[in-house]
Amino acid sequence: MNEKTIEVVAVAAMKEEAAPFLAGAHPEKVDIPIGEAWYVNFAGQDVIVVVSGAGLVNAVMAATHAVNDYKPRYLVSTGSAGGLAQGIFVGDVVVGTRYSYANADATAFGYELGQIPGMPPLYEADQELVSTARSAHIENQRIRAGMIVSSDTFVDSRSVGRIRKDFPSALAADMESTALAQLAYRHELPFVSVRAISDLCGHDAGADFRITVDEVAERSAAVLRHLVGTLPHD
């Protein structure tokens, strides 16, 4: 890869979730110590696409290397999530406005539920990125904006009731977004997570996505294609 100003590092847990960024973009493999990464021109911008592996630690380790090596102007998260709130449906795209850890509990020491000691109670997305993502006009695509919670536990019928009670305003749950939001906070990077809803965290959440992972990935990437394409050039 020639020396370029990287606008965006985009992080997906699985290669299937990154596929819309790589398709037809003549991806160029680049080296990172953890995960996989490619340089692509996506929506007219220079982007590093990272496949981190699932989970909070994998996401933040792979993304940290990409952020340190390529010094992007923005960090985004893409892929799938489980729907939590009433009125959220499979196939919706959720643009995260705030992020918290679903399983963090230091309330005994005076912290808020979901807050890591020494860190903010919530991580806020960049409001301009949120606004631009929400403005995407994609036929037959609902876009909702709201809170995303994350943990290393796949949310299904065993845990969804507790999470809905603890985080009543959360629209979606995933396994990476909050860790990436924390990384962005520490690096002072504008951040947003854009996730398509693959299931509703019910009895069949682990087995029945109801739409394919390819469709989930394309729905998320379509909104990010609009977002990335509107970012200012040098």
Residues recognised as catalytic:
17, 199
In the chain, the N- to C-terminal Cα span, in Å, equals: 19
106-120 core/surface letters (b: 16 or more CB in 10 A; e: else): eeeeebeebbeeeee
Query: How many whole angstroms separate alpha carbon 158 and alpha carbon 154?
Result: 10
E strands, 54-153, in order: 74-83, 93-101, 123-124, 143-150
Dist CA 109 CA 178 (whole Å): 21
Nearest 5°: the CA angle 148, 152, 61 is 90
